[in-house]
Amino acid sequence: MTPQELLKQLYDDTLVGNGPAVLELTHTGLAMNLGPEALLYEALIPALEEVGARFERGDFFVPEMLIAGKAMAGALEVLRPLLAETGAESIGTVVMGTVKGDVHDIGKNLVNIMFEGAGFQVIDLGVQVAPEKFVDAVREHSPDIIGFSAFLTTTMPMFKANINALAKAGLRDQVIVMVGGAPVTQEYADVVGADGYAADASAAVVRAKELLQRRRRAALPA
């Protein structure tokens, strides 16, 4: 099998949610020296985009979306240590969670992996995280950054609810708020009063580092 054939097969098997085949192809791809980024960006993510497109057209339903998501999650576990390979000391702490009402976590988990790879310590609160849980986590861990993920237009308003909860607890100024997720835009992030937005996991790392550097510089004595 050529690398191109493997990527095509991985795409096809992810699309139909064939978990065992996706796992095997992921291992085979790595053994063939296909990098984890190639497997991710040239097969796994495009397959899930196609799953979403088919769901929108009414060709796929929730069960198909679920098994494709599970197949992708299995591959992500194999790729995690490779994507997150770092010997560096922690450059900051990030608390991450998918907002209340939302169970999507593949995108959040990928952001976590990239953050870990960049040297951040990541505390993952999981999915369906209520505002008070985010507040408690900020109190407990004093993170540099808190990240909210939302993947549904109906759950995006939870960003504002979370930010309001942080403000009410007197914690809003102590932490950088970043938001992201498939339907989120820079404009929406601005409207809700987030400090940063990123469209994907790599951009999230770049933005997080920028925001952190800016905050640390501002804290230095003049």
Give the footprint of ligand B1M on this chain (CB under 6 A).
45, 48-49, 51-52, 55-56, 62, 65-66, 68-69, 101-108, 110-111, 147-149, 151-153, 178-183, 198, 200-201, 204
CB of 222 to ligand B1M, least distance (A): 31
CB of 49 to ligand B1M, least distance (A): 5
Whether 32 and 9 have beta carbons less than 8 Å apart is answered as no
Query: Cα(121)–Cα(127) distance, rounded to whole angstroms?
Result: 18
CB of 221 to ligand B1M, least distance (A): 30
CB of 28 to ligand B1M, least distance (A): 22
Q: Which of 110, 106, 113, 141 is nearest to 127 (CA)?
A: 106
Place of tokens 């990541």: 122
Residue with Cβ nearer ligand B1M (29 or 196): 196
Q: Are strands 176-180 and 92-98 parallel, antiparallel or unpaired?
A: unpaired
Residue with Cβ nearer ligand B1M (24 or 200): 200
Residues 6+ apart with CB under 8 A from 151: 98, 102, 104, 107, 181, 182, 183
CB of 220 to ligand B1M, least distance (A): 26
Q: Which of 113, 122, 120 is nearest to 90 (CA)?
A: 120
Residue with Cβ nearer ligand B1M (31 or 144): 144
Residue with Cβ nearer ligand B1M (2 or 101): 101
What the block records as the tokens of 4 is 């191109």
Residue with Cβ nearer ligand B1M (9 or 120): 120
